[in-house]
A and B are shown apart, each in its own frame.
Chain A
């Protein structure tokens, strides 16, 4: 019985307080007599054809394959730029930025958290395919398939290097964003990633002023700072960064042995090129001490994160429609606000008791208490792991693209004399082959 009540409350809250579900954007027109209202999908009209979704999935697969080839096989920056523009045109402006793998994270989480939600096949494909390609070929998706990456890549005109220490700290933000987005979806609050997609307003040529300013700011910053959203916000980028560490094949700056010319040193606008280890290594004892201290601090950092997360529970809980509705109804009943809202009116019209609403809100709050504690612990773990990674020394003998940071844009290729030499030889070989074909 309690679960039934909870279900009813949740439904009522969703209907009353949902962001877009029940909200009527426009008042119904005052039609002339005799006008018959069209049947909407909710009233039994046939659902949309899913063929478009499958076409999108096929386009995604093709684009990923092509991007992988251009980045790793052909090593063509120009090809990647053209593919990026095409992806921006199709997935961005034509398909209005939806569905995209970044947002698909939420569909997948919702499917796991809510047994009543059936994950659309298209969403599953959009979520999994870029990860799968990354596992084999590095971040091909970021290279030239993601419309968000492409639009930032295009505006990157005068790159300025972000200091490594700053980039490292800001690089934690996508994990926090990812954790928060997962929590909010799992709790049934909101699709945070879609809600704050900075570029979807451009793709649809329609957005609120706040999002327009956010997106435009990112683009302006992106003129100087390479892909600020991808590097310092994108939650899917955080996942791809993790998976790309395990990639079967990935971007190599030089196609053969690195000659340590250092010409590529400043070529990456994303700070993804790591330098060879110094000739004289730092003192082993100091390094070991730092590592040991970091290891010891790890549980403390995780614990502090969990505590901080728990403290944020009420604020996170306010994103949930049931909590907001319960608060509104309580404030109305306590005489602390004037009038009523559409949501509170709709709730009262359901005939459900306020006790049921408060108990449902209490259950939601309990979920947030647990969820935010876990989120905080996760953030603590990410911070701890990053500190640990900083403390670990790896011997590098040549200039390499950091697999987690490299978006396979191909900019570094043209800085490498070995690559230039390879291209010349390739062009000569192609020229000879053409001549042979001609003489034949």
Chain B
């Protein structure tokens, strides 16, 4: 009997057919189980458990009403149910894996059986027919060398493909920026800055052109005197800024914020810088005044980068090729008309007017950021309310002063440190007109307050001691003044132009122009440029009497102030950017 069993076992052991069939059956079992497991795995479920949208929604609701005990209970019950489902799934997977493992063991055993049975049928191993020879050895050595070379080439190819995915250029840029920030700051000297139009109302913020050869006539309808015009992707009322062969603007909606760079030669849009994905940034604000819009502040440039700020307090720096260098969100200021103060650059500092709320709130401040990295260099808290004007930097007796206006104070700071130098209480209301400096006097104005001529050589509160003169006629509410050493011009929104003598404050004349104005007046040599909201430019002779030299029609509404360059004027219309000139 034992012999019979042994022969049966031996017969079975050498039965290739039985072994092959067993291998096929167990193999099919393994394949089916594996496929089922993969399908079950791919079906997912873990993500739902880890990131349940349903639970998240209920938790949000609970956050709104933390006392809702019924909701708490529902969350617990749902959480438990999801967890139970998850672990049941894990258990099913586990069972499947055990089945697969068992099948695999059986499959491998069957294969081994089949191999063993097949080998039993084969003849006994016979030594190779060829003796090792020197030639064969040499061939093998050569093949090995080539195979190693081939592997090295394949590895190099794979390495090259992998390297292309691992770029560390960001680190180079970041470390360079850090090193640059440690090095003494580099900035364009004042003489260089004055060749360009780097901020709202030009190099010193006074609306004065460094060039006398600027055009004074053009015609939007015929195109005469217009070198080019280009549509701006998003319309806004900020003014053009020019450096070299680039014109910069910004535009924004509630959800989109962009910086534009145009070519001065052709007007072509060189690049659009998207201001997005800034930590802490939010769209909006919702309750902004339509006339202000989301991109009222004019951009500023230092000659290497351009800086832009928007109504939601997103602040970004782009290099001249359109790459974003840094960005931050300052937090939406409490400003009932919407944020409108423009940026200015002083040496390596980007000055941000961040006035908001009321003087009692103590939330207004000026920030000076390092243009290289956007980090705050100094911050000056100000006892003023929200304002919409743009500061200027003047140089008086060799020292620079940052002149800022708001309700109720005009405050001068040392721009390098933010240290207050002097203050005068001479403003009121919602201050939008920016200060100017002419004839050694700081001139500030706002409707409901007064035009004040302040001597900038005081310290502390100079309200009683350093206001050289003041006037109360023709006070504007939006438009900034323009001034020479001899005359100061005020222009109200509804078109009343008032001229004062700079030295004495004596009114020279006033003239109702019967047009509406939002753009601030500009000076080029002995000419005063006014541009109405309908796009009518009026060129006046600067002097003690009203003398109109000419008018030019753009054919498109204008709220922005123009930029003057060599032989050219850049004007932003409601939809287009225009370049006036002949070359």
Contact = CB atoms under 8 A, between A and B. Distances in A.
Interface of A: 25-27, 29-32, 154-155, 157-158, 163-166, 168-170, 172-173, 176, 202, 205-206, 209, 216, 219, 223, 261-263, 265-267, 275-282, 286, 290, 308, 311-312, 314-318, 323, 326-327, 330-340, 348, 354-355, 358-359, 361-362, 365, 383, 386-387, 390-391, 415
B278 A205 contact: no
Given A170-B151, A176-B155, A314-B163, A390 B145 contact: yes
A154 B327 CA distance: 60
Nearest to B90: A206
A332 B76 CA distance: 35
Given A168-B148, A265-B127, A354-B174, 8 more contacts: A205-B98, A223-B111, A267-B125, A278-B136, A308-B159, A316-B166, A335-B277, A383-B152
Given A32-B76, A157-B108, A176-B155, A330 B170 contact: yes
A317 B166 contact: yes
B237 to A, nearest CB: 24
A262 B115 contact: no
Contacts of B144: 164-165, 168-169, 390
Contacts of B79: 29-30
B75 A30 contact: yes
Contacts of B137: 277-278, 282
A157 B115 contact: yes
Contacts of B174: 326, 330, 354, 358, 361-362
B357 to A, nearest CB: 27
Contacts of B147: 165-166, 168-169
A390 B168 CA distance: 39
22 contacts: A29-B80, A168-B144, A170-B151, A206-B97, A263-B127, A267-B125, A276-B132, A280-B134, A281-B134, A290-B141, A311-B159, A311-B160, A311-B163, A314-B167, A318-B168, A326-B171, A333-B279, A335-B278, A361-B171, A361-B174, A362-B171, A391-B141
A279 B112 CA distance: 39
A323 B148 contact: no
B399 interface: no
B131 A279 contact: yes
Given A26-B49, A169-B150, A262-B127, A358 B162 contact: no
A317 B169 CA distance: 12
B189 interface: no
A327 B169 CA distance: 10
Contacts of A154: 108
- Chain B interface main SS type: helix
Contact of B131 (A169, A278, A332, A390): A278
A-B interface, 8 closest residue pairs, ranked by CB to CB distance from nearest = A315-B166, A262-B127, A165-B143, A169-B147, A335-B277, A282-B134, A358-B174, A157-B111
Interface in B18-71: 34, 38, 41-42, 49-51, 55
Contacts of B150: 169
Interface string B99-125: 001001000100110110000000001
B494 interface: no
A323 B125 contact: no
Interface size class of B (residues with CB under 8 A): 35 or more
Interface string B299-323: 0000000000000000010000000
A27 B50 contact: yes
Given A261-B127, A308-B156, A335-B327, A387 B163 contact: no
B165 A172 contact: no
A107 B277 CA distance: 41
A32 B73 CA distance: 8
A79 B178 CA distance: 66
A335 B148 contact: no
Interface string B155-186: 11001101101111011011100100100000
Given A275-B132, A332-B277, A336-B277, A315 B162 contact: yes
B515 to A, nearest CB: 41
Contacts of A318: 165-166, 168
A7 to B, nearest CB: 19
- Residue from B136, B166, B274 with most neighbouring chain A CB atoms (10 Å): B166
Nearest to B277: A335
Nearest to A316: B166
B38 A157 contact: no
- Residue from A266, A277, A390 with most neighbouring chain B CB atoms (10 Å): A390
A312 B163 contact: yes
B41 A209 contact: yes
B326 interface: yes
A286 B181 CA distance: 63
B279 A277 contact: no
B275 interface: yes
Contacts of B171: 323, 326-327, 330, 358, 361-362, 365
Nearest to B72: A30
A155 B132 contact: no
A27 B83 CA distance: 10
Contacts of A308: 156, 159
Interface in B340-376: none
Contacts of A314: 163, 166-168
Interface string B129-140: 001111111101
Interface in B270-313: 274-279
A344 to B, nearest CB: 9
Contacts of B145: 387, 390
A266 B132 CA distance: 14
Nearest to A339: B277
A278 B132 contact: yes
A89 B125 CA distance: 34
A415 B94 contact: no
Contact of B175 (A169, A332, A339, A358): A358
B324 interface: yes
A32 B133 CA distance: 81
- Residue from A158, A206, A209, A314 with most neighbouring chain B CB atoms (10 Å): A314
B326 A333 contact: yes
A166 B149 CA distance: 11
Contacts of A281: 134
